[in-house]
Amino acid sequence: MTEILATVNYWVTIVLMVGGLYIVVAHGNMVKKLVGLGIFQTSVYLLFLSPGKVLGGTAPILAEGFELYSNPLPHVLILTAIVVGVATLALGMALVVRIHEAYGTVEDDEVHELEMD
Amino acid sequence: MIALHLPALQVVLPLIAAPLCALFRRGLLAWAITLTASWLAFAAAIMLLLQVIDQGVVSYELGGWMAPIGIEYRVDLINAFVLLIISGVGAVIIPYAQKSIAARFGDAEQAWFYTMYLLALTGLLGVTITGDAFNIFVFLEISSLASYVMIAMGRDRRCLTAAYQYLIMGTVGATFIVIGIGLLWAMTGTLNLYDLAQRIPEIENTRPVLAALAFLTVGISLKLALFPLHLWLPNAYAYAPSVTSAFLSGTATKVAIYLFLRFFYTVFGGGAFFESTPLPEILLILSLVAMFAASTVAVFQSNVKRMLAYSSVAQIGFITLGISYATETGLTGAMTHMFNHAIMKAGLFLLIGGVLFRLGSVKIEDMAGIGRKMPITMAGFVVLGLSLMGTPGTVGFISKWYLGLAAVEQGQWWLVALIVIASLVTMIYIGRVVEVAYFREPTAKVAQLKEAPAALLVPAFVLVGAAIYFGLDTSLSVGLAQNAALLLLNAVY
């Protein structure tokens, strides 16, 4: 039990990762697929941030009385990854809007049927 | 001064040109800027290649920060070769783009198209040149996001769903790659590829590193459209504007293949490590299935662009087949085919783009008798088609020769037979187009067609010429590929 608690970040990461990917695969609604994709990407943020945390460490700014610092690198990386994620989500949504204009629906199977005609 | 900063300029030139196009919003001006940036990038790639041949690895520290701490651009023979392919395809396509894009879009939209193209180019060049694992992910996403937009600008509404599908699968792929990179970083504490290559051998067989490898494999395979992860590719290439199809087919998958080689061979320790994993067998089987299944599907397509797209999946199978041997000849064949396939497929898409420009359709049945009305375009199509089959005297023969040779070296004659049979299937689908184009009576619509304009023909014929030239003189393509293959096998970086 304590082992699970000690690695709780990673368990959450796994749940988000698998859950997000499941939504992407299983849902037919294009907006929901994007939501799943967002969750999937979020799990990666946690995966990067977790090993960077040093228990008891502070932000890495030199100051008197603080010896222990957390690793700042993952924050920088994930800030970039978040920007990428937002851009992807925005573009995905824009495409869904265009698809709705062109087909009148955002359901995978209905769009597929219209494409067959 | 310029020579010193070439690696940075390679990426920065198109990156700066992109917002300029967006700011001016004039089609012709944006095109002129794009043309300049593309040609300068091509010139930079050539100069970099010469520099690498002359003095070995070129390392560039961005912002003056030392390598493992700062971001490093590291150019060796392998990525100099890939840079040459990407920027070369870009430089040939842009003169073509003006006529093709201006025919369909208003002034502002044209400028947006060029902005997207330049960002895609920046991303692809960046992925190739960088020596930093996280940088790879960022550049990969820059190029992917830009290419989704470029695909969504097609004339058929199906381009929208194609772009959406590519966005979903591409993002899943990129996220897998970044998970892999994250696990490697957690294990080694470094993101610099050179540094990773030094540190990984000690912990090669720990579970996180193997998990990282698995994530990287799936992620990169999605990006390079390895069968059965190719589902995004056919529709994306079929319904995108011709310029986009030509550009992406020549560059995007090639960059993913480069990443595959870089991670497996350079970072994880060369041919010996690659052979210690189950990957050679898996890759061999998937490549063979891709070569046959995708070619067979291509035979039954009624849309010529979609046919060429499936043919791309099959040709990627040829490339990964070469990688699966993990021998010098095999890798030489694979890298040569990257170069050759970029020339052939970009050329074919440009020529078919000319047909689309005149005829407004690329359905096979609509193209009856088109060989008489557009003789130059179709002649080019026949030459590149012959090359795709592997006719001697063209580039297609060269790569298949090396792929066959690699199979013989390992005593696997049956593979040679399979390569020949797969080429015969190629003959069937190219033959279908040729039959309809030359041996049928022109329909009323085809009868009043004119030859494609020179602005579209000249760039396409530069590639046709290259397909013949590099089929006869292989010192550049094979010579470079051979040296690059040795570097990969011995994990020299």
Is B138's CB within 8 Å of A24's CB?
A: no
Q: Could you report the per-residue pLDDT of B146-180, keeping only the tens digit for each?
A: 999 999 998 888 889 999 999 999 999 999 999 99
Number of Cα atoms under 13 Å in the Cβ half of residue B94: 30
* Interchain contact B134–A (C-beta under 8 A): yes
CA distance A111 to B402: 44
The ranges assigned to domains in chain B are: 277-493
Of A33, A81, A98, the CB nearest to B160: A98
Confirm if B95 and B35 have CB atoms less than 8 A apart.
yes
* Interchain contact B203–A (C-beta under 8 A): no
* Interchain contact B145–A (C-beta under 8 A): yes
Is B152's CB within 8 Å of A51's CB?
A: no
Is B148's CB within 8 Å of A33's CB?
A: no
What is the DSSP secondary-structure string of B346-359? HHHHHHHHHHHHHH
**Residue B286, min C-alpha distance to chain A (Å):** 22
* Interchain contact A78–B (C-beta under 8 A): no
Is A37's CB within 8 Å of B185's CB?
A: no
* Interchain contact A91–B (C-beta under 8 A): yes
Q: Could you report the per-residue pLDDT of B5-29, keeping only the tens digit for each?
A: 888 889 999 999 999 988 988 888 8
CA distance B243 to B103: 12
* Interchain contact A31–B (C-beta under 8 A): no
**Nearest 5°: phi and psi at B107?**
-55, -50
Is A84's CB within 8 Å of B148's CB?
A: no
What is the predicted pLDDT for the residue at B145? 94
Instruction: Return the residue of B nearest to A36 by Cα.
Output: B168
**Residue B411, min C-alpha distance to chain A (Å):** 42
**Nearest 5°: phi and psi at B300?**
-95, 10
Number of domains in chain A: 1
CA distance B171 to A89: 10
* Interchain contact B164–A (C-beta under 8 A): yes
Instruction: Return the residue of A nearest to B177 by Cα.
Output: A44
Contacts A98 to B, Cβ<8 Å: 152, 160
What is the predicted pLDDT for the residue at B464? 92
Judged on CB neighbours under 10 Å (0-12, 13-18, 19+), A65 is exposed
What is the predicted pLDDT for the residue at A117? 67
Give residues with Cβ within 8 angstroms of B76, minimum separation 6: B52, B56, B57, B58, B487, B492, B493
Which CA distances in Å does B435 have to B367, B368, B370? 10, 9, 10
Is B172's CB within 8 Å of A21's CB?
A: yes
Q: Of residues A94 and B27, which shows the higher confidence score?
A: A94
CA distance B342 to B349: 11
Instruction: Return the residue of A nearest to B163 by Cα.
Output: A95
Reported ipTM: the value is 0.93
Is A24's CB within 8 Å of B149's CB?
A: no
CATH of the domain at A38: 1.10.287.3510
Residue tagged 């080689």 (tokens) = B261
Nearest to B193 by CA among B267, B274, B83, B82: B267
CA distance B70 to B62: 7
| Segments in chain B below pLDDT 50 | none
* Interchain contact A87–B (C-beta under 8 A): yes
Which residue segment(s) compose the domain that A97 sits in? 2-116
Instruction: Return the residue of A nearest to B161 by Cα.
Output: A99
Other beta carbons within 10 Å of B443: 16
CA distance B368 to B132: 51
What is the predicted pLDDT for the residue at B473? 86
**Residue A66, min C-alpha distance to chain B (Å):** 23
Question: Confidence band (pLDDT; 50, 70, 90) for A1?
Answer: low
Which CA distances in Å does B93 have to B40, B45, B438, B476? 14, 16, 27, 21
Alpha helices in B189-278 (DSSP H): 193-199, 207-224, 233-239, 242-261, 270-276
* Interchain contact B412–A (C-beta under 8 A): no
Q: Could you report the per-residue pLDDT of B66-89, keeping only the tens digit for each?
A: 878 888 898 988 999 999 999 999
What is the predicted pLDDT for the residue at A67? 81
Question: Confidence band (pLDDT; 50, 70, 90) for A59?
Answer: confident
